[in-house]
């Protein structure tokens, strides 16, 4: 407990934990995206993949609980650090435009909170099946059918695309700055880490948003 307090009790340790948990969540997002893209391979391939995940049983529950723990640590420490920073600097800079802050970096808390709301809705939508009568009308084993039913509603699809834009913004800044928070710094390596955030953000946005957009356009049905 004392070691734990020492790590997350000081700003540098807490920043490192936010960075590591952020990179782990990014890994989950990339894995989830590659699985979801199987929707373009048709119902059989996608449902087989979903059934394969569910057949992991206990392992899946351990992974889910691990993911939840990582998520809570990331969110809790990021908000604490943000509040501490604000308390240390109660007055805004006179000219924010002169600061080296990008749009994405300024709105990390806002995009993070929008993602939190998205994840609650997303779990209610597809995992717990309590958010949409259209999704609930499809048998739980037909995850492909659930995705098509869910995204046939343009308002739902619009909210997903908006959430994916927030996710992309969050990752654009978050992934690159995670390396800085961890003290991983080298002029040659920096060229790569600075580009990694925007590249991952673009892949995640185009990849995830392509699913609701394709359903609405009737490309997958
Ligand atoms: C178009 C975008 C997305 C689609 C089509 C999609 C699809 C799905 C589906 C069908 C499930 C339920 C699987 C099942 O229980 O059978 C699910 C679960 C989940 N999704 Fe997504 N997802 C999308 C985007 C995202 C994003 C961007 C995140 C995170 C930022 C995310 C996080 C999760 C989580 C945490 C679960 C619960 C996993 C579990 O219960 O094991 N999803 N997703």
Dihedral through CA 120, CA 133, CA 46, CA 40, nearest 10? -90
**pLDDT of res. 1:** 54
Average pLDDT per consecutive 10 residues, the chain (221 residues; last block may be shorter) = 68 90 98 98 98 94 96 94 84 54 86 95 96 95 98 97 97 94 86 93 98 97 92
- Virtual torsion, Cα 99, 105, 108, 109, nearest 10 deg: 0
Residues with CB under 6 Å of ligand 1 are 29, 32, 36, 50, 64, 115, 119, 122-123, 126-127, 143, 147, 160, 167, 208, 211-212
Quick check: is 118 in a domain? yes
For the chain, the residue count is 221
Kindly state whether residue 5 falls inside one of the protein's structural domains.
no
Residue 95 lies in a domain: no
In a domain, 32, yes or no: yes
Give the pLDDT confidence of 126-173 residue by residue, as tens digits: 999 999 999 999 999 999 999 999 999 999 999 999 999 999 999 999
79 domain residue, yes or no: yes
- Read off the pLDDT of residues 187-204 as tens digits, 9 standing for 90 and up: 888 888 899 999 999 999
- Please indicate, yes or no, if residue 31 is contained in any of the structural domains: yes
Q: Which domain holds residue 76?
A: 11-89+102-216
Report which ligand 1 atom has the smallest distance to the Cα of 146. 10
* Predicted pLDDT of residue 218: 96
Whether 165 is covered by a domain: the verdict is: yes
In a domain, 2, yes or no: no
Best probe residue, ligand 1, of 127, 135, 175 (max atoms within 8 Å of C-beta): 127
Q: Is 52 helix (H, G, I), strand (E, B) or coil?
A: helix
For 185, residues 6+ apart whose C-beta sits below 8 A from its C-beta are 179
Residue 98: predicted pLDDT: 46
- What is the number of structural domains in the chain? 1
pLDDT value of position 93: 53
How many CA atoms, within 13 angstroms, populate the side-chain half-sphere of residue 136? 8
Please state the pTM of the whole predicted model. 0.90
């Amino acid at each position: 407990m004392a070691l734990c307090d020492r790590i997350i009790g000081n700003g540098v340790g807490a920043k490192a934990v936010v960075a590591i948990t952020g990179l782990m969540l990014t890994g989950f997002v990339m894995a989830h995206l590659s699985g979801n893209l199987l929707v373009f391979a048709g119902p059989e391939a996608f449902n087989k993949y979903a059934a394969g995940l569910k057949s992991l049983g206990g392992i899946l529950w351990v992974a889910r609980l691990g993911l939840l723990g990582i998520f809570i640590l990331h969110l809790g420490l990021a908000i604490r650090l943000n509040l501490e920073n604000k308390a240390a600097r109660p007055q805004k800079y006179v000219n924010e435009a002169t600061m080296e802050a990008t749009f994405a970096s300024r709105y990390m808390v806002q995009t993070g909170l929008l993602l939190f709301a998205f994840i609650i809705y997303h779990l209610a939508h597809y995992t717990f099946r309590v958010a949409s009568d259209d999704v609930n009308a499809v048998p739980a084993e037909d995850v492909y059918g659930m995705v098509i039913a869910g995204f046939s509603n343009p308002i739902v699809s619009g909210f997903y695309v908006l959430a994916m834009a927030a996710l992309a913004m969050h990752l654009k800044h978050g992934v690159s700055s995670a390396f800085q928070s961890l003290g991983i710094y080298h002029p040659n390596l920096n060229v790569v880490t600075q580009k990694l955030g925007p590249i991952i953000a673009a892949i995640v946005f185009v990849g995830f948003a392509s699913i609701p957009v394709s359903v609405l356009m009737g490309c997958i049905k």
